[in-house]
C-alpha cells in the first residue's frame, strides 16, 4: 500500500472525532524524502487554539504510529 494511502486511511480513523467538533483535515503534501506531512485543518479547527493540541497529540501521534515514514506533521 502506498504511503499516501496509509496516511489517508489513518486520517479516516480520526475524521469522525474531528468532524464531531465540526472540523476537518485534508492532506496538502507529503515530502517523502524528509518525512514532512502538510495538512490543512478546516471548519472550526481552523484558527482554534486547541488545534495545535489536536495536531500534535492526536493526528501526529497516530500517524507516526501507523505510518512511520511520517516524521513531522505541520498545518497550513
The structural domain count of the chain equals 1
Q: What is the DSSP letter of 59?
A: I
Tell me the pTM: 0.87
Q: Can you give the pLDDT at residue 45?
A: 74
In a 3-state reduction of DSSP, which class is residue 22? Answer: coil
Residue 35's domain comprises: 3-75
Selection from 71, 24, 28, 69 nearest residue 51 by Cα: 24
CATH number, domain of 58, equals 3.30.300.130
The yes-or-no verdict on residue 13 having pLDDT over 90 is yes
**pLDDT tens digits for 35-69?**
999 999 888 777 777 777 777 888 999 999 999 99
Task: State the burial class of residue 3 (Cβ atoms within 10 Å of its Cβ: 0-12, 13-18, 19+).
Answer: middle
Amino acid at each position: 500500500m502506498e504511503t499516501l494511502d496509509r496516511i489517508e486511511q489513518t486520517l479516516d480513523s480520526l475524521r469522525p472525532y474531528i468532524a464531531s467538533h465540526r472540523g476537518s483535515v485534508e492532506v496538502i503534501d507529503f515530502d517523502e524524502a524528509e518525512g514532512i506531512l502538510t495538512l490543512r485543518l478546516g471548519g472550526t479547527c481552523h484558527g482554534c487554539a486547541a488545534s495545535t493540541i489536536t495536531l500534535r497529540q492526536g493526528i501526529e501521534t497516530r500517524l507516526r504510529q501507523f505510518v512511520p515514514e511520517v516524521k513531522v506533521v505541520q498545518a497550513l
